[in-house]
């Protein structure tokens, strides 16, 4: 329970000499700090930043109350005292409790004091739903400070870390990272321009991934002057046919039983940790993305299954990293992360025990169910896809004491192309289920940095459940829709429910698996097919059922769109009755960007929802029409095929008139902005179909001539 307390002034206690004058400077001095070598300066910086966040927010909602920074509490005044129990740690746990005429926020480590400050602001009604000022929910002004009656102990459910896989080099944003910290997410990618800022926020850096492909490029030249293939062809995995070839070398997992290969890759990793990965805390070590083609040599087979082989390899790498650490060649300890993933053949857990060297270092496994079904819970017994993933995850959970488990989800996987998807029910069911199974960390691929639209709910719910897997969902959702959409809350809650229902079969439409509709269409040459479209069992393996399901989904999305249109119309009708506030003439670009028109907040949010949904409807309609077209061609129903084709051309033309930002170049830095049609991934198929239809038309003319 909380209670209101009237205050006449607030002192924020930052326990460092000179805090009254220097706190604002300390809060921004992260670029000058070695966060691993100077723990005292690091603690002071994070504490000062927490104090400035408190002052910034409380000054806005308590504008008539004097608020100041002090270095020690004064007699009789109301204080918010900030304290870090152990400056050597970034631990995010905290305690918030009453003390005399004030409150004390004690962070177990640096991140904890910051999270405790945000918790006090959250109690006042502050929320950070999206990055930037437009994503803030600001409580009404008051002279009352809301204080907890009881001691609050904050500790994450997913205490191994909560964050994202930032695969692309250009994915970085101070605004986004601040949103992460305010929502208690703490694992990010190392990026030089934002690294110090993230360290101040108590974050840990995770890098790596599919790093071995370039290191084992067959044409890579070794110090001997010979290529890897010329010097060490045995490093490449032995295919099932028993014949290694240069052309197919990277399509089979590399041979982990080669000691000199482990030395080569371990040495390359250490050199990278000494240079551009010097600040990294965690390293993802993923094998080749070969979708199950393991090395079949006798030595590898004797190591156990694919997961056992991976652990043998990582144990060798761990030994090399440990030796480099002992010799003082590395800046700080790092944790290695193995990958439980079907693309690398390691979906199922090991059959043998985890090597002791891995357990002693605190290394982890991240489990990626890339083709999971989002229509059903991960624990759903009747879903063939999720049954397989659930059983495989349990096989890793058997080793969770020796090898802690992180779950890797895919709420915006590359095949989803930033579609307006919602996973509210799945998040509410699956994250608590993961927690019950023993999972203690979470990450997801690939978080969008802009244009969230209705996906704001996904990012927010992901953050909340990662912190507290036992969140009261009814209260959370009621508060979210009320805060974010105001008078349109009821309509938008219904719209979001319709959107979630409409996209429930997204994995069967667009996942990486071979029987998703998108995969099947992309494998088609565009000519009249000689076999039916082999859609998944969720569509009863029938193209007609896929079309029926798709049309029902489009209808749900269109119903949601009508609700958004109605909300927009209602919102616009209010503004002629109001005088604008906060308006001024901008003197420069910075001034223009800082303009905040609070009266337009709902219009802006609804408008972004609408834009994203229009793109989503177009994309799904295009796929449905392609399935209809394919089916009609296969059945020889030319009239129906022609009708479907005309609809395909119409939708494609419409999708080619707008952009869907923003994408990222890979590898290397850079961004890209593609047309809606390009992002559908069906542009090339349209060209193939057009070519075939043109040839058929020419043949018909020649036949009749």
User: Residues 360-377, buried b or exposed e (16+ Cβ, 10 A)?
Assistant: ebebbbbbbbbbbbbbbb
Give the CA distances from residue 252 to residues 237, 241, 284, 296, 307, in Å, rounded to whole numbers and listed in that order: 5, 11, 20, 9, 15
Quickly state the pLDDT bin for 575 (edges 50, 70, 90).
low
Q: Which helix or strand (DSSP H or E) is residue 444 part of?
A: strand 441-444
Quickly state the pLDDT bin for 1 (edges 50, 70, 90).
low
pLDDT score for 593: 66
Find the range with the poorest average confidence among 208-222, 299-313, 546-560, 654-668. 654-668
Mean pLDDT of the chain: 94
Residue 689 and residue 457: Cα distance in Å, rounded? 38
**To which residue do tokens 């199950």 refer?**
292
User: pLDDT tens digits, residue range 375-388?
Assistant: 999 999 889 999 99
Residue 419 has pLDDT above 70, yes or no: yes
Tell me the pTM.
0.96
∠ CA(144), CA(149), CA(152), 5° rounding?
110
pLDDT score for 301: 97
User: pLDDT tens digits, residue range 581-621?
Assistant: 666 777 777 677 666 556 789 999 999 999 999 999 999 99
What does the pLDDT average to over 406-429? 96
Quickly state the pLDDT bin for 240 (edges 50, 70, 90).
very high
What does the pLDDT average to over 129-144? 94
pLDDT score for 372: 97
pLDDT score for 224: 94
Residue 690 has pLDDT above 80, yes or no: yes
pLDDT score for 596: 58
pLDDT score for 598: 65
Quickly state the pLDDT bin for 576 (edges 50, 70, 90).
low
∠ CA(270), CA(272), CA(273), 5° rounding?
65
Query: How many Å separate Cα 150 from the centre of its chain?
Result: 34
Assess contact for 459 and 418: CB atoms under 8 A.
no
Residue 306 and residue 327: Cα distance in Å, rounded? 32
pLDDT score for 257: 97
Give the residue from 381, 42, 12 showing the smallest Cα distance to 197.
42
pLDDT score for 579: 61
> 381 or 661, which is more confident?
381
Classified as helix, coil or strand, 80 is strand
User: pLDDT tens digits, residue range 10-50?
Assistant: 999 999 999 999 999 999 999 999 999 999 999 999 999 99
Residue 577 has pLDDT above 60, yes or no: no
Assess contact for 126 and 57: CB atoms under 8 A.
yes
Calculate Rg over the CA atoms of the chain: 28
**To which residue do tokens 């492909």 refer?**
213
Token pair for 2: 């909380």
Query: How many Å separate Cα 369 from the centre of its chain?
Result: 14
> 581 or 520, which is more confident?
520
pLDDT score for 663: 85
User: Residues 635-659, buried b or exposed e (16+ Cβ, 10 A)?
Assistant: eeeeeebeebbebbeebbeebeeee
pLDDT score for 583: 63
Give the residue from 136, 132, 111, 110 showing the smallest Cα distance to 121.
136
Q: Which helix or strand (DSSP H or E) is residue 526 part of?
A: none
Q: Is 214 left (phi over 0), alpha (psi -120 to 50) or beta?
A: alpha
Residue 531 and residue 244: Cα distance in Å, rounded? 34
Residue 41 and residue 7: Cα distance in Å, rounded? 32
Residue 116 and residue 257: Cα distance in Å, rounded? 48
pLDDT score for 101: 84
Cβ neighbours around 604 below 10 Å, total: 12
Task: Give the relative orientation of helices 259-274 and 306-326 as an angle to the nearest 10 degrees.
Answer: 50
């Amino acid at each position: 329970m909380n209670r209101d307390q009237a205050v006449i002034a607030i002192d924020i206690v930052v326990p460092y000499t000179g805090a009254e004058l220097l706190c604002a400077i300390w809060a921004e001095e992260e670029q000058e700090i070695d966060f691993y070598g100077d723990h005292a300066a690091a603690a002071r910086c994070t504490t000062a930043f927490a104090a400035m966040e408190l002052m910034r927010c409380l000054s806005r909602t308590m504008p008539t109350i004097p608020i100041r920074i002090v270095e020690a509490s004064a007699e009789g005044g109301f204080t918010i005292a900030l304290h870090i129990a152990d400056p050597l740690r970034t631990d995010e746990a905290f305690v918030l409790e009453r003390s005399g005429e004030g409150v004390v926020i004690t962070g177990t480590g640096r991140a904890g004091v910051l999270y405790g400050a945000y918790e006090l602001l959250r109690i006042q009604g502050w929320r950070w739903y999206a990055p930037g000022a437009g994503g803030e929910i600001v409580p009404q002004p008051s002279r009352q400070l809301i204080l907890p009656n009881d001691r609050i102990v904050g500790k994450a459910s997913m205490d191994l870390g909560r964050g994202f896989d930032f695969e692309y080099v250009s994915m970085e944003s101070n605004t986004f990272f601040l949103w992460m910290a305010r929502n208690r997410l703490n694992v990010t990618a190392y990026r030089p321009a934002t690294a110090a800022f993230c360290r101040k926020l108590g974050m840990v850096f995770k890098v790596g991934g599919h790093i071995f492909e370039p290191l084992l490029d067959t044409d890579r030249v070794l110090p001997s002057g010979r290529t890897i293939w010329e010097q060490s062809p045995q490093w490449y995995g032995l295919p099932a046919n028993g014949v290694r070839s240069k052309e197919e070398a990277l399509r089979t997992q590399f041979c982990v039983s080669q000691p000199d290969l482990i030395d080569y890759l371990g040495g390359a990793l250490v050199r990278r940790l000494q240079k551009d990965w010097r600040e990294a805390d965690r390293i993802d070590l993923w094998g080749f993305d070969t979708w199950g083609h393991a090395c079949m040599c006798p030595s590898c087979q004797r190591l156990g299954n694919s997961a056992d082989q991976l652990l043998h390899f990582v144990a060798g790498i761990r030994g090399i990293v440990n030796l480099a650490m002992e010799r003082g060649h590395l800046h700080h300890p790092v944790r290695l992360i193995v990958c439980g993933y079907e693309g690398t053949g390691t979906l199922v857990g090991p059959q043998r025990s985890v090597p002791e060297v891995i357990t002693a270092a605190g290394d982890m496994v991240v489990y990626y169910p890339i083709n999971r079904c989002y229509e059903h819970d991960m624990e759903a017994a009747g879903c063939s896809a999720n049954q397989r993933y659930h059983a495989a995850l349990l096989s890793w959970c058997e080793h969770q004491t020796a090898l802690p488990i992180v779950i890797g989800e895919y709420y915006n996987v590359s095949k989803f192309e930033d579609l307006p998807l919602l996973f509210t029910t799945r998040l509410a069911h699956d994250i608590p289920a993961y927690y019950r199974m023993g999972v203690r960390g979470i990450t997801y691929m690939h978080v969008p940095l802009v244009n969230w639209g209705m996906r704001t709910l996904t990012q927010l719910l992901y953050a909340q459940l990662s912190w507290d897997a036992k969140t009261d969902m009814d209260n959370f959702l009621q508060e979210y829709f009320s805060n974010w959409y105001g008078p349109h809350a009821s309509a938008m809650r219904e719209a979001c429910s319709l959107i979630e229902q409409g996209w429930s079969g997204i994995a069967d439409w667009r996942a990486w698996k071979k029987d998703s509709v998108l995969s099947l269409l992309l494998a088609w040459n565009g000519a009249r097919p000689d076999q039916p479209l082999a859609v998944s069992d969720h569509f009863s393996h029938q193209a007609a059922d896929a079309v029926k399901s798709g049309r029902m989904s489009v209808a749900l999305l269109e119903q949601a769109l009508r609700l958004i249109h109605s909300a927009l119309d209602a919102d616009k009708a209010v503004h002629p009755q109001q005088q604008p506030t906060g308006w001024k003439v901008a003197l420069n670009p910075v001034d223009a960007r800082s303009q905040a028109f609070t009266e337009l907040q709902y219009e802006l949010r609804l408008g972004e929802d609408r834009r994203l949904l229009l793109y989503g409807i177009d994309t799904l309609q295009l796929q449905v029409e392609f399935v209809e077209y394919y089916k009609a061609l296969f059945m020889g129903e030319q009239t129906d095929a022609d009708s479907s084709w005309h609809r395909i051309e119409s939708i494609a033309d419409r999708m080619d008139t707008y952009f869907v930002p923003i994408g990222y170049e890979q590898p290397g830095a850079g961004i890209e902005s593609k047309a809606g049609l390009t992002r559908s991934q069906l542009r090339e198929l349209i060209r193939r179909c057009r070519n075939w239809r043109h040839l058929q038309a020419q043949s018909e003319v020649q036949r009749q001539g």
